[in-house]
Amino acid sequence: MSPLVLMLTIISVCLSAGAQVALKHGMTHPATQEALASGTVGAVRAVASQPSVLLGLAMYGVGAMVWLLVLARVEVSRAYPFVGLGFLLVMALGASMLGESIGTARWVGTVLVAAGVLCVAMSA
């Protein structure tokens, strides 16, 4: 994998992970939660107008476009294992930016997933 493709792959994974955190932030915002609890059409409007949700969706869109550039240059079986690194990134961002509590078992499990991803990526 060329340095450019590796960089694009990492950018795509980071954008997807950032999108998850932005979406979570937007969906847990008090105004969004209140609108969702009402169960009305206003809930759709509240979600659709939440800046963090819009940011998350935009990040997914840009990440998908970058991912398409990756897929145009490398086999999907070689690129896709890197997506697993998003598990670690999302967990770390959730803990640092959203204050989520991460227990030992979750850390160990996520590191095992990342180790598996590394094994698959190295075998390609």
Instruction: Give the domain ranges of the chain.
Output: 3-123
Q: Which residues contact 44 (CB under 8 A, 6 or more apart)?
A: none
Tell me the pTM. 0.85
Q: Mean pLDDT, the chain, as a whole number?
A: 90
How far apart CA 22 and CA 16 sit, in angstroms, is 10
Asked if residue 77 lies in contact with residue 36, where contact means CB atoms within 8 angstroms, the answer is: no
Quote the CA–CA distance of 71 and 59 in Å, as a whole number. Answer: 18
CB of 84 within 8 A of CB of 113? yes
Looking at residue 124, its pLDDT comes to 58
Among 24, 19, 25, residue whose Cα is nearest residue 67: 19
